[in-house]
Amino acid sequence: MALIAWWAPLLWIAAAAAVIGAVAWYRRRHRVTGGIPVAHRERLTALPSYRRAMSRYRLLVAGFALCLVALVTGGAVLTARPATVSLVTPDLNNRDIVLCLDVSGSMIDYDAVVLEVFQELATEFTGERISLVVFNASAVTYFPLTTDYDYISRQLERLSEEFDDPAAPYYGGTLIGNGSSLVGDGLASCVVRFDQGTADRSRSVIMVTDNFVAGEQIFTLPQAAQLAADRGIRVYGINPGDAAAKDYLADLANEFETSVLATGGAYYALDDPSVIPAVVDQITSEQASILPGQPRVQVIEQPQPWVWLSFAGLVGLSVFGWRLKR
C-alpha cells in the first residue's frame, strides 16, 4: 500500500487545524457576551430526565463526531490516492500470431487440426491478437490481426466447416498466380500482415506447409524467412510431409527447417495430425519462456475501502445530524 499524493493528508490536517483554531478563537471571542448568568444549575441537571436527555445527547454528539472523523479520514486518504504498487512481468499477452496455412489439397487435414487447436486456444487468450492467412498460389487474409475472440472463433469454425465441404470456396482468391503452394510468397505475405511495426510486441507466424512448391515464386522461402528475421518475426514451421522419406521431399523439408530456424523459430516435422495440439502448446509455451516481457511497475489505485468509509461517515453524519436537530 502506497500513497500517490502523500502530501494531501498534510493539507487536510492543516485545514482541520485551521478550522478548529478558527472555531476556538470565535468561541473564545464570543464567550465574553456569554448569555444569561444563572447559579445552581444542579436544580436542573440533577433531574433524572435531564440526565437521560443529556446522555442521549452526548451519545449522538459522539456518534456525529465519529462519523465526521470517518468522513474526513476517508476523504483525506482518498485524496492521497492509496494504491498498490507491484512489479509485473507482462508475459504472453502482447503477442501477435499469424496462422499461415497452406490450403493446397494435401494440407487440408493438417490445417483443420491447427484450426481446431486455435479455436480452443482462442477461448483462453487475453490480449493476444490472431490473424489467419491462407495461401496457395496467392495469399488471402481470412481475417486480420484482432483480439475479438468471438469473431475469431466463428471464423475458425466457418473455415473448418469449409474444409470439410469440397464445394466450399475456402480457396477463393488463393489461386491467382502462376503455380500452386507458393510457400515463399505465402510466408512473405504473412510476414507483411503485421501492423504496429514499432510497438513492442512479440510477433510469430505459425506456418503449416509441406514446402512443396509448384510454380514461379517472387520470394523463395529463405528470402521470405530473411524478411521475417529482419522484422523480428519468428516463424514456427509445421511440416506434415517431412516424414515421408523421399529424397526430393527431404531437401524441401531441410530448406524449410533451416529457413525457419534462421528466424529464431522452431520446426516440427510430423505425419500424424493428432500431434499438432501438443506442438501448438509447445510453441506457445516456448514463446512464453522466450518473451518474459519488460518488467514494469504497476500502480493500481485502491480507493474502495476508503470510499465505503467516507460513504458510511456521510450517512452516519446525516442520521446523527437529523437526530440532533430534533
Query: Site residues (CB under 8 A) for other proteins?
Result: 31, 34-45, 47, 49-50, 53-54, 57
CB atoms within 10 A of CB 254: 13
Cα–Cα distances (Å) from 210 to 11, 60, 255, 300, in that order, read 71, 84, 11, 49
Tell me which DSSP letter residue 212 carries: -
CB of 309 to other proteins, least distance (A): 30
Amino acid in the structure at residue 70: A
CB of 14 to other proteins, least distance (A): 29
Q: For other proteins, which is the closer residue by CB, 46 or 244?
A: 46
CB of 40 to other proteins, least distance (A): 5
CB of 57 to other proteins, least distance (A): 7
Contact present, 292 and 259 (Cβ < 8 Å):
no
Contact present, 132 and 142 (Cβ < 8 Å):
yes
Q: For other proteins, which is the closer residue by CB, 32 or 245?
A: 32
Rounded to an integer, what distance in angstroms lies between the CA atom of residue 301 and that of residue 12? Answer: 20
Q: For other proteins, which is the closer residue by CB, 1 or 36?
A: 36
Cα–Cα distances (Å) from 152 to 20, 71, 163, in that order, read 63, 49, 16
CB of 24 to other proteins, least distance (A): 15
Contact present, 80 and 9 (Cβ < 8 Å):
yes
Around 18, how many Cα atoms within 13 Å sit in the side-chain half-sphere? 6
CB of 301 to other proteins, least distance (A): 43
Cα–Cα distances (Å) from 48 to 32, 44, 60, 322, in that order, read 31, 9, 18, 24
Q: For other proteins, which is the closer residue by CB, 38 or 87?
A: 38
Question: Which residue shows C-alpha cell 448569555?
Answer: 35
Cα 237 to its chain centre, rounded Å, is: 27
Q: For other proteins, which is the closer residue by CB, 12 or 50?
A: 50
CB of 23 to other proteins, least distance (A): 15
H/E element, 296? strand 296-301
CB of 50 to other proteins, least distance (A): 6
Q: For other proteins, which is the closer residue by CB, 46 or 214?
A: 46
Q: For other proteins, which is the closer residue by CB, 49 or 126?
A: 49
Q: For other proteins, which is the closer residue by CB, 36 or 245?
A: 36
Cα–Cα distances (Å) from 206 to 57, 98, 152, in that order, read 76, 6, 16
